[in-house]
Structure 1
Amino acid sequence: MLGRTTKEFLETPLEEFIHSEDKERAVECFESALAGTAPMTVELRFRHGDGHWIWIESSASPIPSEYDLDGVVTVTREVTERKRRERKLKETQAELKRSNEQLRRQNRRLDRFASVVSHDFRSPLSVATGRLRQAREEHDSESLDAMVEPVDRMARMIDELRTLTMSQRRDVKTTPVAIATRAEAAWAMTETGDSELRVRIDPDREYEADLGLLDHIFENLFRNAIVHNETPVTVTVGSLAERQGFYVADDGTGIPSERVETVLEYGYSTADEGTGDGLTIVSEFIEAQGWELAITGAVDGGARFEIRTD
């Protein structure tokens, strides 16, 4: 283990084999063991017979008094591999600490950004919206009418950006939630026009979900179906047949297969009224709950979003 012969140990002081930084601790260990009744243990670097350093752990115990001898008995084992693992663990912990600190800094920046979005952007936009409304009441102008949609779109963008930003900071808290009830509640909170909702899921069927995130998922999927189709659509919420989870499908124009991956990218939209952030929010919120999102074609030819919870 140590690569040394008995002759070397007898002819050379032990301290010659011990690393200079560990000699003092080794001496203290052996002296304490010699003076006391309990064994003492020390870890130190020892020069192996072939010249490299290894880590050893030595436990020194005083020789029992009945033997009428002064000295200690040591039991030594090599712990080089253990020390290597400990060093690796410390490096990993240090890296984790740095990563956590970086995450805290990023969270602080997200907080500041959310504050800017919710206040510094929203306040002047509210003023502009109010003045635009007043101007339209006082003047009949197509130019003023044309400004309504861009201003409303900006307001939606601010809301969605703020929602997406704040979602990065909140803890996910799940409770048993009735999917049918939440789908109907989200539909009631969405501007649906003449579109229709069909719920084909057991009213008592519950999933462990974050209530706030789930509501945002439904609202954004409903809004996406309505905005990206020119005529009223029928939106269906139902249970998956072969996996745990549920789906939201519509009978609209659907999503071309070559665009399935693209629609989840930030800012992507094919509709004038859309901000391009809705499906990004959906994807983020689904992932935050440990679920999986799959986009397929619906039976009626529209888009189908499967939320797989298993």
Structure 2
Amino acid sequence: MEDQCRVLAAAVETLDDVFYVYDADGKLAYWNARLNELFDLTDSELSGTAPTEFFVADDRAAVEAAIDEVFESGQTSVEARAETTEGVVTFELSGRLLTGDDGTVQGFSGVGRDITDRREREWHLQRQNERLTEFADLLAHDLRTPLAVTSGHLELAAKELSPERIDAARDGLERLEAIIDDMRTATREGALATEEQAVNIADVATTAWNHVETGSAVLEPPPPILVEADPKRLLRLFENIFVNAVTHGPERGERASGEDREAGTTDITVRLVPTADGFAVEDDGRGIDPDDREWVFEPGASQAADGTGFGLYIVRTIAEAHGWTVRATAAEHGGARFEFDIDADTAC
């Protein structure tokens, strides 16, 4: 019997999960070494600890309710977050009542399983489903207008054979194609970025600049910035950022004097700069009104006549798929600045 107890104790120590036993007073009586590792506490510090002491304040009420439940019904299950040596961990906690041969309650035992990754995947899936719902609502609204305009022009063109009417119809179809393309991209980017690798942002940004119509705008040679990212999605992110900068830059001659225009002064300059938390893309264009800096990331948000309204929404979606955040603010020279904060575990 003694040998069996030693084998059982050794088996419990091999678990990746936390194993615990609480006495009838709800005090910690037995545990495996995983609990010591996660909270960096000695056996003497852990002995007699109440269950709620391990978890964040917002989740303690749920843990207390679970303890009441296990003593009333014999079993329980609850999720709670704790600050550990491995960061904030979401635990799935189980509990089963322990009784003696005479039915006397002796306490309860259970297992704490780390479900942080599972909850993160579920969160991303929920976000993706929410985006799909948004697209279903936007589809009817955004596609109805260009389709109606195109149909009208084509009917007139069939009667008049007017080149102007045909060109207008072609413009409507091109806008419709752009909307559909952006919607498909946004749907794809709603999934997790699963092909991450070491990427030099400067190389991706330079390639993206060459992919878009930039006119006389200039991209300053970007410095090397290394991150772990999906290069294809990062390319799309920069393409949309650059299109936004060029599209919402100053009108021709809006800033430059006559002499500057004759000398070939560029309409806008775009810069990629490293920051303490990641990187930023800024320009010296018109900038974004402070009241609109959150709105510009919403699906369908556009102030350009030929814009689809999905460009910056896709930028935010790709950033979130990498675990990053993005915010719009003002650049040093009054233009727009988009700051990307990268999780510490993401940067190389």
Alignment TM-score > 0.5, same fold: yes
- Indicate the residue corresponding to 2:99 in structure 1: 57
Give CA-to-partner distance per residue, 1:270-309, whole Å, 9 cap, x none: 0012111111110111111111212111122210111121
- Indicate the residue corresponding to 2:339 in structure 1: 306
Give CA-to-partner distance per residue, 1:104-144, whole Å, 9 cap, x none: 9x87x96xx99xx9xxx9xxx9xx9xxx8xx89x9553222
Stretches of structure 1 that go unaligned for 5 or more consecutive residues are 3-47, 60-73
Query: Which structure has the greater CA radius of gyration?
Result: 1
User: SS of 2:220's equivalent?
Assistant: strand
Equivalences for 1:128-143 in 2 at 5 Å? 139-143=161-165
- Indicate the residue corresponding to 2:167 in structure 1: 145
Aligned residue among 214, 238, 252 for 2:273 = 238
Aligned residue among 106, 116, 120 for 1:78 = 106
CA distance in 1, matches of 2:243, 2:294: 19
The answer to whether the 8 Å contact 2:190/2:318 transfers is: no
The answer to whether the 8 Å contact 2:192/2:321 transfers is: no
The answer to whether the 8 Å contact 1:225/1:252 transfers is: yes
Letter matched to residue 224 of structure 1: N
Aligned residue among 247, 267, 276 for 2:280 = 247
CA distance in 2, matches of 1:227, 1:288: 25
- Indicate the residue corresponding to 1:179 in structure 2: 201
Does residue 215 (structure 1) correspond to residue 215 (structure 2)? The answer is no
TM-score, reference length from structure 1: 0.58
CA distance in 2, matches of 1:171, 1:309: 14
Query: Which segment drifts farther, 139-148 or 181-190?
Result: 139-148
CA distance in 1, matches of 2:204, 2:243: 15
Does residue 226 (structure 1) correspond to residue 224 (structure 2)? The answer is no
Give CA-to-partner distance per residue, 1:124-167, whole Å, 9 cap, x none: x9xx9xxx8xx89x955322222333221111111110011112
User: How much does 1:207 deviate?
Assistant: 1.0
The answer to whether the 8 Å contact 2:193/2:230 transfers is: no
Aligned residue among 191, 194, 198 for 2:220 = 198
Letter matched to residue 199 of structure 2: V
User: How much does 1:171 deviate?
Assistant: 4.2
- Indicate the residue corresponding to 1:6 in structure 2: none
CA distance in 2, matches of 1:147, 1:53: 70
CA distance in 2, matches of 1:305, 1:156: 23
The answer to whether the 8 Å contact 2:192/2:322 transfers is: no
Letter matched to residue 78 of structure 1: Q
Letter matched to residue 168 of structure 1: G
Does residue 280 (structure 1) correspond to residue 313 (structure 2)? The answer is yes
- Indicate the residue corresponding to 1:289 in structure 2: 322
Query: Which segment drifts farther, 170-179 or 160-169?
Result: 170-179
TM-score, reference length from structure 2: 0.52
CA distance in 1, matches of 2:183, 2:337: 24
- Indicate the residue corresponding to 1:166 in structure 2: 188
User: SS of 1:307's equivalent?
Assistant: strand
The answer to whether the 8 Å contact 2:282/2:337 transfers is: yes
User: How much does 1:192 deviate?
Assistant: 1.3
User: SS of 1:304's equivalent?
Assistant: strand
CA distance in 1, matches of 2:294, 2:326: 11
Give CA-to-partner distance per residue, 1:45-100, whole Å, 9 cap, x none: xxx9xxx77743347xxxxxxxxxxxxxx896523x54xx77xx89xx9xx99x96
Stretches of structure 2 that go unaligned for 5 or more consecutive residues are 1-22, 25-70, 75-96, 253-266, 344-348
Letter matched to residue 99 of structure 2: E
Letter matched to residue 106 of structure 2: E
User: SS of 1:199's equivalent?
Assistant: coil
